[in-house]
Structure 1
Amino acid sequence: MPGPKDLDPSTSPRALLGAELRHARENAGLSQRELGEPLFVSASFIGQLESGTRRMQPDVARRIDEILGTNGFFERNCLAANKSRYPDHFAEAAEAEAVATTIREYAPLLIPGLLQTEAYARAVFRGGRPTATDDAINELVAARLERSRLLDDPTSPMVWTVLDEAVLRRKVGGASVMSEALRHVATFARNRRVIMQVMPFDAGAHMTDEGALKLMSFPDAPPVAYLQALGTGQLQDDPATVARYELAYHLLAAGALSPRESLALVASVAEDYSHEDQQP
């Protein structure tokens, strides 16, 4: 019986690789848990590989080939499936985001990537990479704007973001850039495309004080949490860990301004930046 053909990288390679994994696992008579045990990963991790929400690393692919007897198929094809326009530490999260049905995010310092304008994104990347070439910055900006096309669909994914007040007050790119960026966020909220709240400074300490948090859920795979720090990022899929982060997010939202109050604050700060930009 002929083995599977190598995957064409132009046709959703991650999804194809996941489908081939499910097919090979079922042909071997193994459950997701039984395949995961010798790999020292959870059944939910195998499910995420099969659904295309997690990337298959070469060492895992090599062991899968050994266990399932697939003659190096997964090791050969995982590199093509892992090609990405995004920085390595964020690539897996961006690709999971693209197939998520709900995205909940706490942003402590910057407007979330999905909601950024071109000028704001450019200022963010230039600030973080002061020696990068213009071509490199242009490529990063283009990838970020491509991500934002997820919001072209009027209903899916459901996006709920909580912005720390610091996001509003940090003058990224100058007053005119901030005015445009905050008006952009306000438009999404006003059009009910995004649920947006603001955590005000006077709310004090809260459970997510230590950094950014993104929670994603999927139609055919367990939810994940993404934690990001300087030049690093990690997806968490342990159910107990994800549940703890989900609780933290709900408590955060409960302590934030209401969506109506948040929209009024964002619009007011955007107007302040607009007036500042017009001053001689």
Structure 2
Amino acid sequence: MARAENKETASPTAKLVADVAKRARLRKKMTQDQLGKLIGFSAAAVSAMETCAQPASDDMLVGLERVLGDSMGIFERARLYMRMEAYPPQFKNYALLEQSAVRLELYAAFVVHGLFQTEAYARALIGGGYPTLSDSRVEELVEARTARRALFGREPTALIELVLEESVLTRGIGSEEIMRDQMRHLAKCAQRRNVTLQVLPLDCGLSGEHAGDRGDINLVETPNHERLLFLEVQDESLLISDPAEVSTRAQRCAKIRSQALGPRESLGLIKRLAGDEE
């Protein structure tokens, strides 16, 4: 009965993956155990995927593409749709835009931007939020969030510019070890050729100006060179295309960058916070 219920409640993508994977496995005359060994999963995990008792994870989809995909790319494509289904409703439209963007201009005032979070930082942040989520939902959201990092190595290359409030770097999330690893990850990201990472110092406002006092900004340039603005506050989101509003936020973002530390100085600060002195 439980399996029948899972089949009914499974997402359309999970059902498609289950059906295609089973048909491809049988066509190749493989048992569930044989397929599992080839993709690094147990026979029970393969069975759970085929009956929709447990949707395929991102790692399983990679394995299925390698073993059963026959160069069609169906399981690779399913990775995107599975991630979309895992995201909260208010984030789904932006997630698609983010992955196809040619340029991102980002400002994060409260926590490390999701695109730059480590798995452990994301788990501590999501698991410690409210309302309380089940362990399985936390893991689903963590996997979906960390999968976004594929954008860093995507071809064609996306230009990513991020400014973080210094308070974000010192606000403890999870544990000291998690924060050290997060700082090291930020430092690694900052050294990518397509990433510019700057820190807005705590004493920014002492100059009489603080352009980032109104919260996070996400500006996206699409492949068609349209500029869009995404705002998310208290689980509510807005996707804005009005040129005047987008322009205002773009100017604000530029002002924030001008008030931030330079990329080299920012990298040095992040390394010091990680305990890795230059």
Task: Normalising by structure 2, report the TM-score.
Answer: 0.66
Contact 1:93–1:235 at 8 Å: present in 2 too? yes
Post-superposition offset of 1:94: 0.9
Contact 1:101–1:217 at 8 Å: present in 2 too? yes
Provide Cα deviations, 1:1-24, integer angstroms capped at 9, x if missing partner: xxxxxxxx76xxxxxxxxxxxxxx
Separation of aligned partners in 2, 1:125 and 1:206? 29
Separation of aligned partners in 2, 1:263 and 1:193? 15
1:244 corresponds to which residue? 248
Separation of aligned partners in 1, 2:97 and 2:266? 28
Q: Mean alpha-carbon deviation: is it higher for 250-259 or for 197-206?
A: 197-206
1:190 equivalent to 2:191? Answer yes
1:102 corresponds to which residue? 103
1:141 equivalent to 2:145? Answer no
Post-superposition offset of 1:228: 1.3
Separation of aligned partners in 2, 1:193 and 1:180? 21
1:89 corresponds to which residue? 90
Separation of aligned partners in 1, 2:120 and 2:274? 15
1:69 corresponds to which residue? none
Give 3-state SS (helix, strand or coil) of 2:128's partner.
helix
Q: Mean alpha-carbon deviation: is it higher for 87-96 or for 205-214?
A: 205-214
Matches within 5 A, 1:122-161: 122-129=123-130, 131-153=132-154, 156-161=157-162
Q: Which amino acid aligns with 1:160?
A: E
Separation of aligned partners in 2, 1:212 and 1:237? 17
Contact 2:187–2:271 at 8 Å: present in 1 too? yes
Contact 2:158–2:194 at 8 Å: present in 1 too? no
Post-superposition offset of 1:105: 0.4
Separation of aligned partners in 2, 1:260 and 1:105? 18
Contact 1:114–1:144 at 8 Å: present in 2 too? yes
Give 3-state SS (helix, strand or coil) of 1:207's partner.
coil
1:269 equivalent to 2:270? Answer no
Q: Which amino acid aligns with 2:221?
A: S
Separation of aligned partners in 2, 1:200 and 1:208? 11
Moved over 3 A (4+): none
Post-superposition offset of 1:208: 2.5
Task: Normalising by structure 1, report the TM-score.
Answer: 0.66
Post-superposition offset of 1:130: 5.7
Give 3-state SS (helix, strand or coil) of 2:239's partner.
strand
1:5 corresponds to which residue? none
Q: Which amino acid aligns with 1:194?
A: V
1:28 corresponds to which residue? none
Post-superposition offset of 1:101: 0.4
1:230 corresponds to which residue? 234
Q: Which amino acid aligns with 2:133?
A: A
The total of aligned residue pairs comes to 195
Post-superposition offset of 1:230: 1.1
* Structure 1 pair 210–220 and aligned structure 2 pair: CA distance change class (3 A): same
Q: Which amino acid aligns with 2:186?
A: V
2:223 corresponds to which residue? 219
Post-superposition offset of 1:137: 0.2
Q: Which amino acid aligns with 1:220?
A: N
2:166 corresponds to which residue? 165
Separation of aligned partners in 2, 1:155 and 1:171? 35
Give 3-state SS (helix, strand or coil) of 2:197's partner.
strand
Post-superposition offset of 1:155: 6.3
Contact 1:155–1:193 at 8 Å: present in 2 too? no
Contact 1:113–1:148 at 8 Å: present in 2 too? no
1:209 equivalent to 2:210? Answer no
Provide Cα deviations, 1:83-113, integer angstroms capped at 9, x if missing partner: 6321011111111111110011000011111
Give 3-state SS (helix, strand or coil) of 1:111's partner.
coil
Separation of aligned partners in 1, 2:239 and 2:271? 33
* Structure 1 pair 155–181 and aligned structure 2 pair: CA distance change class (3 A): farther
Q: Which amino acid aligns with 1:232?
A: E
Give 3-state SS (helix, strand or coil) of 1:234's partner.
strand
- Structure 1, unmatched stretches of 5+, are 1-8, 11-79, 275-280
Percentage identity across aligned positions?
Answer: 37
Separation of aligned partners in 1, 2:248 and 2:132? 39
Give 3-state SS (helix, strand or coil) of 1:98's partner.
helix
Separation of aligned partners in 1, 2:259 and 2:140? 38
1:120 equivalent to 2:121? Answer yes
